[in-house]
Structure 1
Amino acid sequence: MQATWTAFRNGGGSGEASLKRLPLRWSPTQGIAWKTELPGYGQSSPVVWNGKVFVTAVQGPMRERCLVHSCELKSGKLLWSRSFASSLLHEMSYYVSRAAPTPVVDSKAIYAFFESGELVGLDHAGKPLWSRSLVKEYGTLTNEFGIGQSLAQNADTIFVLVDDPGVAYLLAVDKKTGKNRWKVAREPRKSWTSPVVTKQGEKEILIVSANGFVEGFDTKDGALLWSVDRITGNIMPSVSVDGDLVFVGATPAQARLARPGSRTAAESNCCIKLTTKDGKPGAEVLWEGKKATCDFASPLSYRGLVYYVTAAGIVFCVDAKTGNALYSERIDSPCWASPLAIGEHVYFFGKNGITTVIKAGPVFEKVVSNALWDTQNPPKTKEPFATTPNNPANAGAARASSPDSLDPILYGYAALEGQLVIRLGSHLFCLRV
């Protein structure tokens, strides 16, 4: 029985769950084992280790506190909360990240990163092991929408990607001490994608897809092993890795950020093949995309097919070997979270709490559509939010008056044998078979 979900998309980067079964049908009155309201607000996905659910949040009108919570998986009971002062204050707004980076967990500790620059390690009982402020060490972050890069990990290291117009770097941090193993400076840029740890031959690498490039780094020393350029729109979706194939997600949003001579956003939803020549790792574009795009959600590679879903809820399915389009269909809700595959099914978790489950395969077939909450009595957050641009850095918040951007919003999930833990801004839901 799988009792862990260790990172964003479980760290594998594929979106495929190695499970035998998940809840297939539920409603606001059936299939929900428990619901828990938590202090603060967060957009990160939950992570799970042997009976404990860990989740991050921020709290206060200016996001003054960074929070790490632990809940009992069996009952949803809050076991402990730890609070850290934020190094970078900013109004709580629907258009600025709020505890967006997903933490990672292993057998010894949970490691959390916040958009204010806080990077912390805690044991499973909530005892702080170490903490750092990357803003104080390396400079303030200036992206008006905040940052959202989730952590990646291997056995002894966590990897932190910071892509910001002010400062940008890739960091490897020792889990035990919280100290740097290495740091690589990057060209400043806007990007919210998350790195993925995988194997290329016998070498462990870190793949970073971010605003113009997809790059492979050696996890031991941060050396750049290969780079694919001319990518447009890879600013939010992360890559999906399936063996020696890397599927890039790209969005047409903010296409103005594209560099001259780049592929279109559709072409940038491409497949990169990992290669080895004369003993050296490399990469080459196997095929370019045609029409399929995605927005927030990362692509899903499963059983020889690749699924992309837009924020509006359009699902594209293409052949993994050729990129040839098989279908494009609209599901029952807008979709921000990355899709999940298990057995014969693919799950699309709609931002409005409606999850569409389709049959895995080259022909679109909807199996069921499940609502998580009653629209007449939705779960609400108690956190204060700014909905007007009270300062220049928060100008985007004016758009948050649109119902499309307001609570409740389904942000992420953890999948366990027979269970789904689903995260809203201030709530956790647990679904059970």
Structure 2
Amino acid sequence: EGSVEAVNPETKSQAVQPDPDDSGFRENWPRFRGATGLGIVDAGEWTRTWDAETGENILWKTRVDAPGNSSPVIWGDRIFLTGADADSEKQEVLCFERETGELLWRSAVEHPRNTEAGDGERLDVFEQTGYAAPSPSTDGAKVYVTYASADVAAVDFEGEVVWVRNLGDPENMYGRATSLLVYKDVVLVQFDRGITPDDASSELIALDTRTGETTWSRPRPVRSSWSTPIVVATPSGPQLITSSSPYVISYDPDSG
């Protein structure tokens, strides 16, 4: 059990967006570490101190009864979190009102494999990672989520599940922690897996935001990893940068 807190004033992101033409990404916090993935906000007079015990600069506090290690993402007046655990066999998305902390809705993401591995045994994950470590990502129309089960789902802003995909055996000794990245009309999934170089079966996958179908996928010469990719602007065009031992690999985010 945890809590979510709002700090005053509002946070804004800056620099490179997944789609440079969409100012909405600059004005929100749509993914892990903000629009750029760099954890940087625009220059301004921001609150630098707060205290949950005294209430200094705390707008509200709301209890969250969904286990998870994911970070919140924000679009407009909505805050999104994910949670999941094996005991209740629930994978959830929670939506809070930004100004008040009111829980607007919580939706269950039904997993095709029912949180069980392909051999029928329950999917065990590293305790410190948990079942909901990857942070969600949003494009302002839907929020995209993923879990230890390797399920990826799209949920609209009213809490309706639009689609769910299972990518296969996650095969990650410390559990999945890589967060999703929305780029234009695809959700980019760095699906690195395998315990040793010999059994690595990693992929970079682009899923259509509308349907969840695979737009393109590329094999990756790496085993399990936990980093989250970023898109950067270069003189030759946007590049998708990934990191997994022993390589840093750049891809064209439009074609893979």
> Which residue of 2 is the match for residue 160 of structure 1?
189
The alpha carbon displacement at 1:205 in A equals 1.5
The alpha carbon displacement at 1:92 in A equals 6.9
> Which residue of 1 is the match for residue 63 of structure 2?
37
Give the whole-Å Cα distance in 2 for the aligned partners of 1:134 and 1:92: 17
Matched ranges for 1:237-386 at <5 A:
none
Give the whole-Å Cα distance in 1 for the aligned partners of 2:62 and 2:43: 25
- Give me the identity figure in percent: 29
Amino acid of the structure 2 residue aligned with 1:100: A
| Conserved? CA contact 2:126–2:173, under 8 Å | no
- Which of 34, 37, 55 pairs up with 1:13? 37
Amino acid of the structure 1 residue aligned with 2:237: K
Of structures 1 and 2, the one with the larger relative CO (CA 8 A, separation 6+) is 1
> Which residue of 2 is the match for residue 175 of structure 1?
209
Amino acid of the structure 2 residue aligned with 1:122: V
> Which residue of 1 is the match for residue 19 of structure 2?
none
How many aligned residue pairs are there? Answer: 217
Amino acid of the structure 1 residue aligned with 2:104: L
The alpha carbon displacement at 1:180 in A equals 1.1
| Conserved? CA contact 1:64–1:85, under 8 Å | no
Amino acid of the structure 1 residue aligned with 2:229: P
| Conserved? CA contact 2:185–2:208, under 8 Å | yes
Q: Which structure dedicates a bigger proportion of its chain to strand? A: 1
Give the whole-Å Cα distance in 2 for the aligned partners of 1:105 and 1:207: 19
Amino acid of the structure 1 residue aligned with 2:210: K
Give the whole-Å Cα distance in 2 for the aligned partners of 1:40 and 1:93: 17
Give the whole-Å Cα distance in 2 for the aligned partners of 1:104 and 1:95: 22
The root-mean-square deviation of aligned C-alpha atoms, in Å, is 1.9
Work out whether 1:4 is the aligned partner of 2:32.
no
Q: Structure 1, unaligned stretches of length 5 or more?
A: 223-433
Give the whole-Å Cα distance in 1 for the aligned partners of 2:210 and 2:236: 25
Matched ranges for 1:24-423 at <5 A:
24-27=48-51, 28-29=53-54, 30-61=56-87, 64-86=89-111, 87=113, 88=115, 89-91=122-124, 94-135=127-168, 140-165=169-194, 167-222=201-256
The alpha carbon displacement at 1:191 in A equals 1.1
Q: TM-score, normalised by structure 1?
A: 0.48
Give the whole-Å Cα distance in 2 for the aligned partners of 1:185 and 1:154: 19
Amino acid of the structure 2 residue aligned with 1:169: E
| Conserved? CA contact 1:60–1:92, under 8 Å | no
Give the whole-Å Cα distance in 1 for the aligned partners of 2:47 and 2:140: 26
Q: TM-score, normalised by structure 2?
A: 0.79
Q: Bigger CA drift: 2-11 or 84-93?
A: 84-93
Give the whole-Å Cα distance in 2 for the aligned partners of 1:194 and 1:108: 22
Give the whole-Å Cα distance in 2 for the aligned partners of 1:215 and 1:90: 30
Give the whole-Å Cα distance in 2 for the aligned partners of 1:207 and 1:92: 27
| Conserved? CA contact 2:82–2:135, under 8 Å | yes
Give the whole-Å Cα distance in 1 for the aligned partners of 2:71 and 2:135: 5
Per-residue CA deviations over 1:356-382 (Å, capped at 9, x if unaligned) read: xxxxxxxxxxxxxxxxxxxxxxxxxxx
| Conserved? CA contact 2:145–2:153, under 8 Å | yes
Amino acid of the structure 2 residue aligned with 1:99: A
Give the whole-Å Cα distance in 2 for the aligned partners of 1:52 and 1:195: 24
Give the whole-Å Cα distance in 2 for the aligned partners of 1:11 and 1:168: 25
Per-residue CA deviations over 1:145-185 (Å, capped at 9, x if unaligned) read: 11111111222111000111153110011111211110011
Give the whole-Å Cα distance in 2 for the aligned partners of 1:16 and 1:95: 27
Amino acid of the structure 1 residue aligned with 2:97: E
Aligned partner of residue 221 in structure 2, secondary structure: coil
Q: Structure 2, unaligned stretches of length 5 or more?
A: 1-9, 13-26, 116-121, 195-199
Amino acid of the structure 2 residue aligned with 1:192: W
| Conserved? CA contact 2:139–2:182, under 8 Å | no
The alpha carbon displacement at 1:19 in A equals 4.6
Structure 1 stretches of 4+ with a deviation exceeding 6 A read none
The alpha carbon displacement at 1:94 in A equals 2.9
The alpha carbon displacement at 1:11 in A equals 3.2
